[in-house]
Protein backbone atom coordinates (compact mmCIF):
# COMPACT_ATOMS: atom_id res chain seq x y z
CA UNK A 1 0.00 0.00 0.00
CA UNK A 2 2.91 2.37 0.69
CA UNK A 3 4.04 2.23 -2.94
CA UNK A 4 0.52 3.01 -4.15
CA UNK A 5 0.27 5.95 -1.74
CA UNK A 6 3.67 7.27 -2.88
CA UNK A 7 2.55 7.12 -6.51
CA UNK A 8 -0.84 8.70 -5.74
CA UNK A 9 0.61 11.63 -3.75
CA UNK A 10 3.88 12.03 -5.70
CA UNK A 11 5.98 11.71 -2.57
CA UNK A 12 8.28 9.39 -0.62
CA UNK A 13 8.01 8.09 2.94
CA UNK A 14 11.06 9.02 5.00
CA UNK A 15 12.77 6.99 7.72
CA UNK A 16 10.19 8.21 10.24
CA UNK A 17 7.25 7.05 8.13
CA UNK A 18 6.21 10.55 7.02
CA UNK A 19 5.47 11.58 3.44
CA UNK A 20 4.91 15.06 2.05
CA UNK A 21 2.93 15.18 -1.19
CA UNK A 22 5.09 16.82 -3.85
CA UNK A 23 6.59 16.12 -7.27
CA UNK A 24 8.56 12.90 -6.68
CA UNK A 25 7.08 10.34 -9.06
CA UNK A 26 7.06 6.56 -8.50
CA UNK A 27 6.67 4.16 -11.42
CA UNK A 28 5.24 0.73 -10.65
CA UNK A 29 5.23 -2.61 -12.46
CA UNK A 30 2.26 -4.96 -12.08
CA UNK A 31 2.49 -8.64 -12.95
CA UNK A 32 -0.48 -10.98 -13.07
CA UNK A 33 -0.15 -14.75 -13.02
CA UNK A 34 -2.70 -17.03 -14.68
CA UNK A 35 -2.60 -20.78 -15.24
CA UNK A 36 -3.34 -22.76 -18.38
CA UNK A 37 -3.33 -26.41 -17.40
CA UNK A 38 -0.05 -26.93 -15.58
CA UNK A 39 1.70 -23.90 -17.11
CA UNK A 40 1.85 -20.51 -15.40
CA UNK A 41 1.79 -17.42 -17.62
CA UNK A 42 2.57 -13.85 -16.60
CA UNK A 43 1.26 -10.58 -17.99
CA UNK A 44 3.24 -7.48 -17.06
CA UNK A 45 2.20 -3.83 -17.11
CA UNK A 46 5.07 -1.39 -16.67
CA UNK A 47 5.59 2.35 -16.18
CA UNK A 48 2.41 2.56 -14.08
CA UNK A 49 1.34 5.52 -11.96
CA UNK A 50 -1.75 6.12 -9.84
CA UNK A 51 -3.97 8.71 -11.50
CA UNK A 52 -6.79 8.68 -8.95
CA UNK A 53 -7.29 7.58 -5.36
CA UNK A 54 -10.75 7.43 -3.77
CA UNK A 55 -11.21 6.47 -0.10
CA UNK A 56 -14.79 6.17 1.11
CA UNK A 57 -15.74 5.54 4.74
CA UNK A 58 -19.24 5.18 6.14
CA UNK A 59 -20.38 4.36 9.66
CA UNK A 60 -21.35 0.69 9.81
CA UNK A 61 -19.70 -0.12 6.48
CA UNK A 62 -16.39 -1.24 5.00
CA UNK A 63 -13.79 1.41 4.15
CA UNK A 64 -12.98 1.15 0.45
CA UNK A 65 -9.85 2.45 -1.29
CA UNK A 66 -9.98 2.50 -5.09
CA UNK A 67 -6.88 3.21 -7.18
CA UNK A 68 -7.02 4.10 -10.88
CA UNK A 69 -3.71 3.25 -12.55
CA UNK A 70 -2.30 4.56 -15.84
CA UNK A 71 0.57 2.68 -17.50
CA UNK A 72 2.92 2.97 -20.46
CA UNK A 73 2.04 -0.45 -21.84
CA UNK A 74 2.47 -4.20 -21.58
CA UNK A 75 6.10 -5.07 -20.93
CA UNK A 76 7.69 -6.47 -24.10
CA UNK A 77 8.65 -10.13 -23.78
CA UNK A 78 10.67 -11.83 -26.51
CA UNK A 79 10.31 -15.50 -27.41
CA UNK A 80 13.28 -17.70 -28.35
CA UNK A 81 12.71 -16.94 -32.05
CA UNK A 82 12.74 -13.19 -31.42
CA UNK A 83 8.96 -12.74 -31.61
CA UNK A 84 7.65 -10.11 -29.21
CA UNK A 85 4.99 -11.52 -26.90
CA UNK A 86 2.52 -9.96 -24.48
CA UNK A 87 3.01 -12.65 -21.85
CA UNK A 88 5.70 -15.03 -20.69
CA UNK A 89 6.21 -18.18 -18.69
CA UNK A 90 9.03 -16.65 -16.66
CA UNK A 91 8.72 -14.85 -13.35
CA UNK A 92 10.32 -11.50 -12.69
CA UNK A 93 13.59 -11.82 -10.79
CA UNK A 94 12.90 -11.81 -7.06
CA UNK A 95 9.12 -11.79 -7.49
CA UNK A 96 6.95 -13.58 -4.94
CA UNK A 97 3.29 -14.54 -5.27
CA UNK A 98 0.79 -14.92 -2.46
CA UNK A 99 -2.90 -15.66 -2.22
CA UNK A 100 -5.37 -12.85 -1.59
CA UNK A 101 -5.19 -11.54 1.97
CA UNK A 102 -7.70 -12.76 4.53
CA UNK A 103 -6.66 -10.14 7.09
CA UNK A 104 -9.20 -7.89 8.76
CA UNK A 105 -10.62 -5.16 6.53
CA UNK A 106 -10.90 -1.49 7.45
CA UNK A 107 -14.42 -0.54 8.56
CA UNK A 108 -16.20 2.52 9.89
CA UNK A 109 -14.96 2.06 13.50
CA UNK A 110 -11.35 2.15 12.21
CA UNK A 111 -11.67 5.75 10.97
CA UNK A 112 -10.67 7.69 14.07
CA UNK A 113 -9.46 11.02 15.42
CA UNK A 114 -11.20 13.16 12.80
CA UNK A 115 -10.24 16.74 13.58
CA UNK A 116 -11.48 19.77 11.62
CA UNK A 117 -10.55 23.18 13.01
CA UNK A 118 -13.63 25.26 13.84
CA UNK A 119 -16.09 22.39 14.12
CA UNK A 120 -15.44 21.43 17.70
CA UNK A 121 -16.81 18.05 18.79
CA UNK A 122 -19.26 16.52 16.31
CA UNK A 123 -20.13 12.95 15.30
CA UNK A 124 -19.29 12.02 11.72
CA UNK A 125 -21.32 9.62 9.57
CA UNK A 126 -19.28 9.60 6.33
CA UNK A 127 -15.87 10.77 5.13
CA UNK A 128 -14.97 10.57 1.44
CA UNK A 129 -11.54 11.58 0.15
CA UNK A 130 -10.68 11.87 -3.55
CA UNK A 131 -7.28 12.71 -5.06
CA UNK A 132 -6.93 13.09 -8.83
CA UNK A 133 -3.64 13.42 -10.71
CA UNK A 134 -3.94 15.03 -14.16
CA UNK A 135 -1.84 12.41 -15.94
CA UNK A 136 -1.68 11.39 -19.61
CA UNK A 137 0.32 8.76 -21.50
CA UNK A 138 2.81 10.27 -23.96
CA UNK A 139 2.32 8.10 -27.04
CA UNK A 140 4.63 8.30 -30.05
CA UNK A 141 4.88 7.10 -33.62
CA UNK A 142 6.91 3.98 -34.29
CA UNK A 143 6.13 2.33 -30.97
CA UNK A 144 3.21 0.53 -29.40
CA UNK A 145 4.31 1.85 -26.02
CA UNK A 146 4.17 5.31 -24.49
CA UNK A 147 7.48 7.13 -23.99
CA UNK A 148 6.36 8.25 -20.54
CA UNK A 149 3.52 9.68 -18.48
CA UNK A 150 3.06 13.43 -18.14
CA UNK A 151 1.56 15.06 -15.04
CA UNK A 152 -0.05 18.51 -15.23
CA UNK A 153 -1.02 18.77 -11.56
CA UNK A 154 -3.36 17.32 -8.99
CA UNK A 155 -6.63 18.19 -7.30
CA UNK A 156 -8.57 16.75 -4.40
CA UNK A 157 -11.49 17.13 -2.06
CA UNK A 158 -12.71 15.83 1.29
CA UNK A 159 -16.45 15.51 1.83
CA UNK A 160 -17.75 14.88 5.35
CA UNK A 161 -21.28 14.35 6.64
CA UNK A 162 -21.97 14.75 10.34
CA UNK A 163 -24.86 15.08 12.77
CA UNK A 164 -25.95 18.64 13.47
CA UNK A 165 -25.56 19.29 17.19
CA UNK A 166 -25.51 23.11 17.19
CA UNK A 167 -24.37 25.95 14.94
CA UNK A 168 -20.81 24.61 14.77
CA UNK A 169 -20.77 24.50 10.93
CA UNK A 170 -21.26 28.27 10.87
CA UNK A 171 -18.24 28.59 13.16
CA UNK A 172 -16.25 26.63 10.60
CA UNK A 173 -17.33 28.95 7.80
CA UNK A 174 -16.34 31.96 9.91
CA UNK A 175 -12.97 30.34 10.54
CA UNK A 176 -12.58 29.57 6.83
CA UNK A 177 -13.33 33.17 5.85
CA UNK A 178 -10.97 34.67 8.40
CA UNK A 179 -8.15 32.24 7.56
CA UNK A 180 -6.85 30.91 4.21
CA UNK A 181 -7.81 27.37 5.23
CA UNK A 182 -8.67 25.13 8.18
CA UNK A 183 -6.58 22.23 9.50
CA UNK A 184 -7.94 18.72 8.86
CA UNK A 185 -6.61 15.34 9.97
CA UNK A 186 -8.03 11.82 10.23
CA UNK A 187 -6.68 8.32 10.92
CA UNK A 188 -7.25 4.91 9.39
CA UNK A 189 -6.07 2.45 12.06
CA UNK A 190 -6.60 -1.28 12.51
CA UNK A 191 -4.61 -3.53 14.82
CA UNK A 192 -2.56 -0.52 15.90
CA UNK A 193 -1.32 0.13 12.34
CA UNK A 194 -2.50 2.54 9.68
CA UNK A 195 -2.06 6.07 8.35
CA UNK A 196 -2.86 9.64 9.37
CA UNK A 197 -3.85 12.07 6.61
CA UNK A 198 -3.37 15.79 7.28
CA UNK A 199 -4.00 18.86 5.13
CA UNK A 200 -5.21 22.45 5.10
CA UNK A 201 -8.40 23.02 3.14
CA UNK A 202 -10.99 25.65 2.26
CA UNK A 203 -14.55 24.66 3.30
CA UNK A 204 -17.70 25.01 1.25
CA UNK A 205 -20.88 26.43 2.73
CA UNK A 206 -22.53 23.72 4.90
CA UNK A 207 -25.51 21.95 3.33
CA UNK A 208 -28.28 20.77 5.65
CA UNK A 209 -30.20 17.62 4.83
CA UNK A 210 -32.55 15.23 6.60
CA UNK A 211 -31.83 11.52 6.82
CA UNK A 212 -34.99 10.11 8.34
CA UNK A 213 -35.04 11.31 11.94
CA UNK A 214 -31.50 12.70 11.68
CA UNK A 215 -30.47 16.27 10.93
CA UNK A 216 -27.26 16.05 8.90
CA UNK A 217 -24.73 18.55 7.57
CA UNK A 218 -22.43 18.02 4.58
CA UNK A 219 -19.31 20.10 3.97
CA UNK A 220 -16.80 19.82 1.10
CA UNK A 221 -13.18 20.82 1.68
CA UNK A 222 -10.69 21.63 -1.08
CA UNK A 223 -7.04 21.31 0.04
CA UNK A 224 -4.70 24.24 -0.57
CA UNK A 225 -0.93 24.41 -0.67
CA UNK A 226 1.13 25.21 2.42
CA UNK A 227 4.63 24.60 3.78
CA UNK A 228 5.91 21.94 6.17
CA UNK A 229 9.50 22.29 7.39
CA UNK A 230 10.12 24.74 4.56
CA UNK A 231 8.84 22.36 1.87
CA UNK A 232 5.74 23.13 -0.22
CA UNK A 233 3.03 20.45 -0.03
CA UNK A 234 -0.72 19.99 0.15
CA UNK A 235 -0.92 16.71 2.11
CA UNK A 236 1.07 15.02 4.86
CA UNK A 237 0.74 11.25 5.32
CA UNK A 238 2.10 9.71 8.52
CA UNK A 239 2.48 5.97 8.98
CA UNK A 240 1.11 4.89 12.38
Domain boundaries, the chain: 1-24+50-69+104-139+151-239
Stretch 233-240: mean pLDDT: 95
Longest dimension (CA), the chain: 74
Predicted local distance difference test score (pLDDT) of residue 89: 60
Q: Which residue has the higher pLDDT, 104 or 220?
A: 220
State residue 216 phi and psi, 5-degree precision: -110, 160
Cβ-contact 129, 199 below 8 angstroms: no
- DSSP symbol at 91: P
Highest mean pLDDT among 45-59, 162-176, 182-196: 45-59
- Write out pLDDT tens, residues 61-76: 989 999 999 999 876 5
Share of the chain above pLDDT 70, in %: 82
Of 16-30, 86-100, 146-160, where does mean pLDDT reach its minimum?
A: 86-100
Highest mean pLDDT among 87-91, 101-105, 139-143: 139-143
- Write out pLDDT tens, residues 108-126: 889 989 998 878 788 999 9
Mean pLDDT of the residues in the chain: 85
Predicted local distance difference test score (pLDDT) of residue 167: 56
The answer to whether residue 18 scores a pLDDT higher than 80 is: yes
Among left, alpha and beta (phi > 0; psi -120 to 50; other), residue 37 is: left
Predicted local distance difference test score (pLDDT) of residue 239: 95
Stretch 74-84: mean pLDDT: 63
Cβ-contact 71, 46 below 8 angstroms: yes
- Cβ-proximal residues to 13 (8 Å cutoff; 6+ apart), any chain: 2, 5, 6, 19, 237, 239
Confidence of residue 85 (pLDDT cuts 50, 70, 90): low
- Write out pLDDT tens, residues 128-144: 999 999 999 999 999 88
Amino acid sequence: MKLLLESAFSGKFDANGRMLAGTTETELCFQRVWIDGSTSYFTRQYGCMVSELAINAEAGGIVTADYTVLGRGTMPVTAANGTQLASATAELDGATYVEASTNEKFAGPDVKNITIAGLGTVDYQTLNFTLTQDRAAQTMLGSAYARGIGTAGKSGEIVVTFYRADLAPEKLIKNGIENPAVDISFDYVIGGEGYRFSTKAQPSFPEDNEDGANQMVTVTFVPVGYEVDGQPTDYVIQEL
